[in-house]
Chain A
């Protein structure tokens, strides 16, 4: 090999070693991985989208619990909330009256939204929800947009919710209709029990849903009404809490005759 050939050979080996070293270091440091197609997208999904989904789940969980709590509280108070009790007052056992001394005090489910909203404000202080609405079994509301920023980028998502509660406040209109029928049929009757036995719907139980017993106090009869649509809601604070049939506690003053408005 002459001098020129030697130079060529040395140059060749240097280039060869440089290529090998470069490729070796690239592989060792994972450099080749960074250039893989779809890596950025997967990282974006993992660090931003997934984070947002978890955040939404936390919000939805708080919304669901607040809605369930309000629904159960209202049912046990005969459709009234503690801040807005029945104008007819309560029985000695604390049961809300729907009728007393000629005054009809039917529950107003409009207050439900305000109550749920204030509960939500306590649970999720950082969020504000607007246009909260119950539509049959669906509870929905509009939330502001939220942005999650990571080293990959920013992801903005809406925090509005749409939750199937599995329970509808529409039941109250059926119950108030049934209560009105009972009042028309049995108020002022001497044999109140016989009249009620013959006229009350089967889901209206006396005093308690588990152990029904007729009892009256100055013509006031307390009813435990089982949900006519057989709605069930989770009860308790446990992770896997049991679902129980929704029951309404209502008192009716049947001592005086009700004159229907023509």
Chain B
């Protein structure tokens, strides 16, 4: 195999590389490049996913608070519920944040509690035109 020699340097500085070694180095460089790129991509991808999840969770909770604010403006007695838990349990249905049963617009979603907002203390009940929280308490119902 023919060696490449760089004779500009003195004897101590001579580096001997044959063609096979040169191609091997090039191949390794390419492989390293791809591996590093892959790992970086995976890292960025997972970071973006995490970031999107955080933003989605924040937006859902923020929309939950705003939904409750609308209810308060409408005269609802928010002292009846635990606001923190209600906001936490907010769900998303077709892009709309569901915080209380009142946010359901169809009977099916209301009765099925499609967004699973109930923590077991109430069920959603349809009353012909609107959905209500019907509380379960010692056999006495509050709506």
Q: Give me the interface of A with B, judged by CB distance under 8 Å.
A: 1-2, 4-5, 12, 16, 19-20, 23-24, 26-27, 30-33, 35-36, 38-39, 42-43, 45-46, 50, 53-54, 57-58, 60-62, 64-65, 68, 164, 166, 233-234, 236-241, 243
Please determine whether A20 and B80 come into contact, CB atoms closer than 8 angstroms. Answer: no
Count CB-based A-B contacts (< 8 Å).
120
Q: List, in ascending order, chain B residues with CB within 8 A of A27's CB.
A: 39, 42-43, 46
> In the bound complex, how far is the Cα of B36 from the Cα of A236, in angstroms?
65
**Known: A16-B28, A32-B47, A33-B46. Contact between A238 and B79, CB under 8 A?**
no
> In the bound complex, how far is the Cα of B32 from the Cα of A194, in angstroms?
103
Please determine whether A57 and B78 come into contact, CB atoms closer than 8 angstroms. Answer: yes
Bitwise, B45-71 to A at CB < 8 A (1) or not (0) is: 011101100110110011001001101
Q: List, in ascending order, chain A residues with CB within 8 A of B79's CB.
A: 61-62, 65
- Taking the closest CB of chain B, its distance from the CB of A236, in whole angstroms, is 8
Q: Choose one: B43, B78, B83, B100; the contact of A26 (CB below 8 Å).
A: B43
* Interface residue tally for chain B (C-beta within 8 Å): 47
Please determine whether A36 and B68 come into contact, CB atoms closer than 8 angstroms. Answer: no
Please determine whether A65 and B16 come into contact, CB atoms closer than 8 angstroms. Answer: no
Nearest B residue (CB) for A63: B72
Main secondary structure of the interface of A (DSSP, over half): helix
Please determine whether A23 and B77 come into contact, CB atoms closer than 8 angstroms. Answer: no
- Taking the closest CB of chain A, its distance from the CB of B19, in whole angstroms, is 13
> In the bound complex, how far is the Cα of B25 from the Cα of A94, in angstroms?
101
Q: Give me the interface of B with A, judged by CB distance under 8 Å.
A: 15-17, 21, 28, 32, 35-36, 39-40, 42-44, 46-48, 50-51, 54-55, 57-58, 61-62, 65, 68-69, 71-73, 75-81, 83-84, 87, 100, 102, 132-133, 135, 142-143
Nearest B residue (CB) for A23: B39
- Taking the closest CB of chain B, its distance from the CB of A9, in whole angstroms, is 8
Q: List, in ascending order, chain B residues with CB within 8 A of A30's CB.
A: 46, 50
Please determine whether A234 and B51 come into contact, CB atoms closer than 8 angstroms. Answer: no
Q: List, in ascending order, chain A residues with CB within 8 A of B65's CB.
A: 50, 53-54, 57
Q: List, in ascending order, chain B residues with CB within 8 A of A62's CB.
A: 79
> In the bound complex, how far is the Cα of B68 from the Cα of A54, in angstroms?
10
Nearest B residue (CB) for A236: B77
Nearest B residue (CB) for A164: B73
- Taking the closest CB of chain B, its distance from the CB of A37, in whole angstroms, is 9
For the complex with contacts A24-B39, A36-B47, A36-B50, 12 further pairs of A-B residues with Cβ separation under 8 Å are: A19-B32, A23-B40, A23-B43, A30-B46, A42-B58, A46-B54, A57-B69, A61-B78, A234-B76, A239-B81, A239-B135, A240-B102
Please determine whether B21 and A1 come into contact, CB atoms closer than 8 angstroms. Answer: yes
- Taking the closest CB of chain B, its distance from the CB of A242, in whole angstroms, is 8
Q: List, in ascending order, chain B residues with CB within 8 A of A237's CB.
A: 77, 80, 142
Please determine whether B58 and A20 come into contact, CB atoms closer than 8 angstroms. Answer: no
Q: List, in ascending order, chain B residues with CB within 8 A of A58's CB.
A: 78, 83
Q: Choose one: A39, A50, A164, A240; the contact of B132 (CB below 8 Å).
A: A240
Q: List, in ascending order, chain B residues with CB within 8 A of A164's CB.
A: 73
Q: List, in ascending order, chain A residues with CB within 8 A of B77's CB.
A: 61, 65, 234, 236-239, 241
Q: List, in ascending order, chain A residues with CB within 8 A of B62's CB.
A: 45, 50, 53
